């Protein structure tokens, strides 16, 4: 049952349902669970899609290879190998997508900014061997009789081919002076994770409210608002504010309720224990009777007559 009182807020009478807090909290938890699922799905899908573009870029350049000196991908310690990159298996193929669990929030900003320091490195500073990095119009790398400079964006923009036969510079990589991942082409991944973080915080707040209300210690709680028509049309008719004092009262009532019902529970447990003790005693007596021995002979009585066993055990 909802307990209704009248209070005056800003000169107007307002119905305040303190007991509706339970329904509101339950609904909020349901809603935030749905939001968590949605946010997590979006984050996984968005980041997975962008990661797939990067993996494909790496895989294409890995395959463009004939020998150590003729390759689009080099390892300064020797010939390039699939083991150099985690997304490739031992045969140089992209690994199957797997689901990984990590309680720590993924750090996208550090590796993103590190891309700005990437260059071709070593002696392989031009398109002498790797033609994929050159979009100059006279090279005809991507089109026959190419007449324009093509700045091909690989990995969704992770790397942009230069329009001349020159050393690859940091400006050819996505960060290109951007301060953080939220300013670049992969910002949707970071933003979707941030949305999930905020939703998680909301879910934790709802859980903490219940924990505090059900705890033994007096909690420090702020007001909680219930919007107009939160549950149904005209329920409530106006926005309600459950004050800190209201929440304190709810906590006190819950505390008293638990204490009184704990006593009843203890009484029930005591009665059940007493019953079990009686049953055990009865079983003990029965067992003792069952194993009782006598040195007397036995006789059988078939009629309802006084015993006539002449001193024998009847």
What is the 3 state secondary structure string of 34-79? HHHHHHHHHHHHHHHHHHHHHHHHHHHHHHCEEECCEECCCECCEC
Which of 2, 44, 42, 48 has its CA nearest to residue 22? 2
187-214 and 21-63 helices, crossing angle to 10°? 150
- What percentage of the chain reaches a pLDDT higher than 90? 12
Distance between the two ends of the chain, CA-based, in angstroms? 67
Quick one: pLDDT at residue 261? 67
Which of 16, 20, 19 has its CA nearest to residue 253? 19
Tens of pLDDT, residue by residue over 69-117, are: 788 887 766 778 888 888 889 888 998 877 777 778 888 999 888 887 7
pLDDT category at 265 given cuts 50, 70, 90 is low
pLDDT category at 6 given cuts 50, 70, 90 is very low
Quick one: pLDDT at residue 183? 92
Question: Mean pLDDT across the stretch 274-287?
Answer: 68
Sign of the Cα pseudo-torsion (45, 46, 50, 51, in order): negative
**Over 70: is that where the pLDDT of 46 sits?**
yes
Quick one: pLDDT at residue 56? 93
Task: Locate 212 and state its tokens.
Answer: 């505090």
Question: How far is the CA of 173 from the CAs of 72, 79, 160, 245, 259, in angstroms?
Answer: 16, 24, 7, 58, 66
**Over 80: is that where the pLDDT of 51 sits?**
yes
The span from the CA of 259 to the CA of 250, in Å, is: 14
Quick one: pLDDT at residue 11? 43
**Over 80: is that where the pLDDT of 138 sits?**
yes
Quick one: pLDDT at residue 1? 36
């Amino acid at each position: 049952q909802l307990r209704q009182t009248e209070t005056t807020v800003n000169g107007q009478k307002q119905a305040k349902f303190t007991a509706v807090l339970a329904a509101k909290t339950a609904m909020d938890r349901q809603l935030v669970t749905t939001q968590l699922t949605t946010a997590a799905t979006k984050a996984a899908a968005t980041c997975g899609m962008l990661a797939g573009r990067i993996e494909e870029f790496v895989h294409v350049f890995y395959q463009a290879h004939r020998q150590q000196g003729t390759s689009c991908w080099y390892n300064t310690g020797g010939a390039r190998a699939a083991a150099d990159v985690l997304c490739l298996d031992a045969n140089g193929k992209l690994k199957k997508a797997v689901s990984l669990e990590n309680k720590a929030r993924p750090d996208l900003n550090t590796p993103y900014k590190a891309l700005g320091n990437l260059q071709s490195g070593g002696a392989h500073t031009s398109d002498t061997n790797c033609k994929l990095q050159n979009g100059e119009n006279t090279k005809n790398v991507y089109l026959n009789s190419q007449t324009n400079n093509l700045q091909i964006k690989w990995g969704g923009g992770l790397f942009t081919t230069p329009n001349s036969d020159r050393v690859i510079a940091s400006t050819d990589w996505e960060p290109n002076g951007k301060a953080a991942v939220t300013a670049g082409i992969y910002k949707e991944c970071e933003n979707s994770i941030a949305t999930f973080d905020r939703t998680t915080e909301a879910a934790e707040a709802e859980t903490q409210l219940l924990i505090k209300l059900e705890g033994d210690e007096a909690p420090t709680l702020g007001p909680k608002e219930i919007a107009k028509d939160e549950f149904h049309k005209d329920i409530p008719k106006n926005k309600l504010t459950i004050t800190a004092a209201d929440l304190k009262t709810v906590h006190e009532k819950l505390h008293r309720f638990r204490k009184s019902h704990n006593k009843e529970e203890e009484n029930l447990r005591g009665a059940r224990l007493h019953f079990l003790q009686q049953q055990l005693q009865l079983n003990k007596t029965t067992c003792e009777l069952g194993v009782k021995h006598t040195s007397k002979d036995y006789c059988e009585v078939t009629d309802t007559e006084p015993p006539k066993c002449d001193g024998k055990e009847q």
